[in-house]
Structure 1
Amino acid sequence: MSDTGGLFVRELERGDGKVLRIGQLTSGDVGCVVWDAAIVLSKYLEAALDFGAPEGHRTKRVSVLELGSGTGIVGIMAASLGADVSLTDLDELQDLMKQNIAWNQDLLTGTCRAKVLKWGEDVAGYLPPPDYILMADCIYYEESVHPLLKTLKDLAGPETSILCCYEQRTTGRNPEIERRFLELLERDFALEQIPLEEHDAEYRSEDIRILRLHKTHG
């Protein structure tokens, strides 16, 4: 860990010994921080998925869109595994995501770019549907539940796999927000929880869940 130009740099070692360097702001909003759920999802991607390998009829790289990217650690890990990735978040986080892409450019075997996307707004510029949508710790803010669900429904196609990772928090209204989000999500998506034993052996926690979602209708 180090401090570089006002950024606190977190390092995440891959299984092959290569290290992702991810800057987070020393002060700012929740999107400026590398959260534990983002690390857990990043290491799950490395352990469980090979984005660079063609599958079935697929002859091109896997397309990945990350929602609420923040620092971009999850999407950058996916790009280092061979995926073509779009990191998305609000305008004020674009510089941070672009800096982190640049710091890890030599590790990327796929592509990675940062784009502005505000939940609930038009997603025409992000279609056709990606192969994967990734989300880490996006369920924390009550007013964002409906916009996030709308964006998921608008972006996902019938073949899109969605991985949603989040920390279960027991304080305040967090349990109610989680319950409401999952209740609404099940109207349009099939959900399955990925067992803890399938998470990375080191980067796992009883409090952090990974859900796999597929759109059923809508």
Structure 2
Amino acid sequence: MPHDEERQRRSRATGRLTLADVAREAGVSPITASRALRGTRGVDPALVQRVQEAAARLHYVPDPAARALASARSAHVAVLIPLLSNALFVDLLDAVQRTLMPAGYVTLIGVTHYDAAEEEALLRNYLAHRPSGLLVTGLDRTPDAAALIAASGVPCVHLMETSASAGQYSVGLSQQAAGRAITEHLLAAGRRRIAFVGAQLDPRVLQRLEGYREAL
């Protein structure tokens, strides 16, 4: 393709190909091109194929910022975990991505290092991208971080713990009950000198410790 035509296809402001360029290549309106690329129902399959082929020829990559501006939401889901060195959280991230990708969402990963201030900073940064959802680890965070989540209006699910609070969604288990159940199992087996070993920087470990103490 001649260089002057290539330049005409690109946005003067960014140098990037735009949705309008794809629409022009496919011979459709920008609205039709947008609907076709989003997989919106009601678009003629032949048009969808034509638009997709045009996008592939131009090597078009959608602009997530423009999509977020138009819809007030992006295709991002932010996931905040404490550490990547813990295999449990690596498995969690793998499962999250395998679930979200087929549904058209992209995972934004943030590592808090068990630092409340770092988690708050990550929340401020990721919420600025207008994510479609938040997955955060645990229920323990600063009042400012909790207020950021509440004020954002972004659906949020708390992982690894359970909450009885109205409107607060969680997926996990009672860590305290788990610590108690494990210790009671050992007591029932006749064990009487039971030690507890855990990393205290994880609040969920401390909850299991409390269950251990209750059982003893």
- In the superposition, the TM-score normalised over structure 1's length comes to 0.32
Using the size of structure 2 for normalisation, the TM-score is: 0.32
Q: Of Structure 1 and Structure 2, which has the larger fraction of its residues in helix?
A: 2
Structure ranking higher on relative contact order (CA contacts 8 Å, 6+ apart): 1
Which has a greater percent of strand? 1
